[in-house]
């Protein structure tokens, strides 16, 4: 065997079908700052800022480009008049509060240079408070705190969308959307996972949770009496596996270990590669495509902050995620394709049709 192939930034970008990427480096914190604008076909691009440590800057850029593409599909399927983009701030390790603030302001400066063709928002590793910091240098930050003039965390609405998505998947598999007695494994008890667990328990589901932070698991055990498994456990007998931590959990390697009928969670880029959608189909596991089921956050941020929607309109948009998924499940069955493929086809049709005309 020869040496492992090491990708370059150039290879990542030339393999990508996006519009442009901004790459910069901050010497003070030793961090790389990436902004990937995938498509503005349906409107200006939007997508969160992920702040995380990666093994290499190339892997961080790869994540940004893949996540940006997912945002394009998410906006298209959700019917939002926006394109897709994503930012990744690849930090070498934990930053001091001063360095973190410095890095966020560098990022805000980069966002501002794009003149509104890309707006950011919270994602893994960033919060509404961070969006307030970005807002010091740029108007183009969704999801600021209510005190800072924004619509606050998108996580609760993301969780509501995932709940409707799980119900739609359960209805497709069992013939009824009632989740009473349905066994759900929620991996990741963060902002979305915690809200989702509350809704599932209230609706009568039997919930098992995991998290790498033991206190988060303990909190949910005390509050809801849920059971727990070790982080990363996927070989758990259940009806629904709901990945709500990080992506890349479904692959040729992990699928044989799954013991569920449905995969339906909030994490972005759940599949390692598109072929995993077909592998799940062959294994008889119904997959709710991530960019469809986790659109509640985008509906919340774009609905409230860009489209001026009322709470009722945002709630209707988030509920619509269940209806859209039900249609995707039927389309996939009808055409004998994976649900991932059926969802991509819906997105491609919307992208081909172009922006909706406002009457
Ligand atoms: P978060 O950072 O608040 O929560 C993630 C949780 O997963 C943390 O508690 C973390 O300790 C845990 N975790 C990390 N690795 C784990 C592992 N191997 N096993 C078990 N737990 C693990 O993030 P948030 O906001 O709850 O988002 C969750 C996922 O949903 C992310 O992938 C995010 O990209 C996605 N998402 C979030 C949206 C939002 O509005 N917050 C919108 C759309 C997608
Ligand atoms: N990061 C979240 C997502 O992946 C929320 C978000 C949506 C942030 C749209 C910015 C813009 O959906």
Average pLDDT score over residue span 81-93: 98
CA 298 to ligand 2 center in whole angstroms: 5
Strand 45-46 relative to strand 118-119: parallel, antiparallel, unpaired?
Answer: parallel
What backbone phi and psi angles, to 5 degrees, belong to 98? -65, -45
Q: Is 231 left (phi over 0), alpha (psi -120 to 50) or beta?
A: beta
Is the pLDDT at 109 greater than 50? The verdict is yes
pLDDT at 347: 98
CA 333 to ligand 2 center in whole angstroms: 29
Residue 297 Cβ inside 6 Å of ligand 1? The answer reads yes
CA 268 to ligand 1 center in whole angstroms: 9
Rg (CA), the chain: 20
Tell me what the pLDDT averaged over the chain comes to: 96
Q: What percent helix, strand, coil does the chain show, rounded to 5?
A: 45, 15, 40
Catalytic one among 74, 86, 223, 356?
A: 86
DSSP letter at 207 equals E
Q: Which atom of ligand 2 is nearest to the CA of 158?
A: 12
Average pLDDT score over residue span 184-195: 97
Task: Please tell me the number of the ligand nearest to residue 266's CA.
Answer: 1
Is the pLDDT at 2 greater than 90? The verdict is no
Cβ count near 310 (within 10 Å): 10
Determine which residue's CA is closest to atom 32 belonging to ligand 1: 267
86 is catalytic: yes
pLDDT at 357: 64
CA 344 to ligand 2 center in whole angstroms: 18
- Confidence band of 84 (pLDDT split at 50, 70, 90): very high
Query: Which residue out of 47, 154, 186, 191 has the highest number of ligand 1 atoms within 8 Å of its CB and is therefore the one to mutate?
Result: 191
- Confidence band of 358 (pLDDT split at 50, 70, 90): low
Is the pLDDT at 287 greater than 50? The verdict is yes
pTM: 0.96
Residue 52 Cβ inside 6 Å of ligand 1? The answer reads no
pLDDT at 356: 80
Determine which residue's CA is closest to atom 7 belonging to ligand 2: 298
Q: Which atom of ligand 1 is nearest to the CA of 298?
A: 42
DSSP letter at 138 equals -
| Ligand 2 binding site (Cβ under 6 Å of any ligand atom) | 46-48, 121-123, 142, 154, 268, 294, 297-298, 301
In the structure encoding, which two tokens stand for residue 58, read together?
């190339």
Sorted by sequence, the CB contacts under 8 Å of residue 257 that are 6+ apart come out as 234, 235
DSSP letter at 122 equals B
Average pLDDT score over residue span 173-182: 94
Residue 348 Cβ inside 6 Å of ligand 1? The answer reads no
Average pLDDT score over residue span 135-144: 98
Query: Which residue out of 74, 188, 318 has the highest number of ligand 1 atoms within 8 Å of its CB and is therefore the one to mutate?
Result: 188
**Cα angle for residues 85, 91, 92 (degrees, 5° grid):** 150
Determine which residue's CA is closest to atom 20 belonging to ligand 1: 211
- Confidence band of 1 (pLDDT split at 50, 70, 90): very low
CA 247 to ligand 2 center in whole angstroms: 14
Is the pLDDT at 359 greater than 70? The verdict is no
Average pLDDT score over residue span 261-288: 97
Residue 124 Cβ inside 6 Å of ligand 1? The answer reads yes
Residue 203, burial from CB neighbour count under 10 angstroms (0-12, 13-18, 19+): middle
Sorted by sequence, the CB contacts under 8 Å of residue 119 that are 6+ apart come out as 44, 45, 46, 111, 140, 141, 142
CA 300 to ligand 2 center in whole angstroms: 9
CA 162 to ligand 1 center in whole angstroms: 13
Q: Which atom of ligand 2 is nearest to the CA of 50?
A: 1
Q: In the chain, pLDDT over 70 holds for what percent of residues?
A: 97
Task: Please tell me the number of the ligand nearest to residue 247's CA.
Answer: 1
Cβ atoms of 56 and 32 within 8 Å: the answer is no
Average pLDDT score over residue span 52-63: 97
Q: How many residues does the chain have?
A: 359
pLDDT at 97: 98
- Confidence band of 7 (pLDDT split at 50, 70, 90): confident
Cβ atoms of 37 and 118 within 8 Å: the answer is yes
Average pLDDT score over residue span 214-236: 97
Sorted by sequence, the CB contacts under 8 Å of residue 22 that are 6+ apart come out as 33, 34, 35, 110, 113, 114
């Amino acid at each position: 065997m020869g040496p492992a192939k090491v990708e370059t930034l150039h290879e990542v970008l030339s393999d990508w079908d996006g519009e442009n990427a901004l790459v910069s480096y901050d010497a003070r914190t030793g961090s790389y700052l990436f902004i990937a604008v995938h498509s503005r076909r349906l409107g200006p691009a939007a997508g969160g800022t992920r702040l995380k440590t990666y093994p290499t800057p190339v892997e961080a850029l790869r994540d940004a480009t893949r996540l940006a593409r997912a945002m394009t599909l998410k906006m298209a399927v959700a019917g939002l008049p926006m394109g897709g983009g994503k930012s990744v701030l690849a930090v070498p390790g934990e930053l001091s509060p001063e360095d973190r603030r410095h890095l966020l302001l560098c990022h805000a400066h980069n966002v501002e240079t794009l003149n509104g063709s890309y707006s950011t928002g919270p994602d893994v590793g960033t919060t509404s408070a961070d969006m307030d910091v970005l807002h010091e240098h740029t108007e183009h930050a969704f999801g600021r705190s209510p005190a800072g003039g924004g619509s606050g965390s998108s996580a609760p609405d993301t969780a509501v969308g995932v709940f409707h998505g799980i119900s739609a998947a359960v209805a497709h598999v069992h013939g009824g959307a009632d989740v009473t007695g349905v066994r759900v494994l929620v991996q990741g008890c963060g902002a979305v996972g915690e809200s989702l667990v509350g809704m599932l328990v209230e609706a009568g589901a039997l919930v098992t949770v995991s998290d790498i932070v033991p206190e988060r698991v303990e909190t949910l055990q005390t509050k809801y009496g849920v059971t727990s498994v070790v982080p990363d456990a996927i070989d758990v007998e259940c009806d629904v596996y709901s990945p709500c931590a990080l992506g890349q959990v479904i692959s040729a390697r992990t699928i044989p270990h799954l013991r569920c009928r449905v995969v339906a969670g909030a994490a972005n880029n759940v599949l390692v590669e598109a072929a995993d959608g077909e592998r799940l189909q062959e294994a008889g596991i119904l997959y709710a495509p991530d960019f469809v089921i986790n659109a509640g956050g985008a509906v919340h941020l774009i609905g409230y902050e860009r489209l001026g929607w009322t709470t009722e309109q945002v709630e209707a948009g988030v509920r619509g995620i269940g209806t859209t998924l039900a249609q995707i499940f039927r389309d996939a069955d009808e055409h004998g394709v994976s649900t991932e493929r059926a969802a991509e086809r819906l997105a491609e049709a919307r992208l081909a049709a172009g922006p909706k005309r406002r009457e």
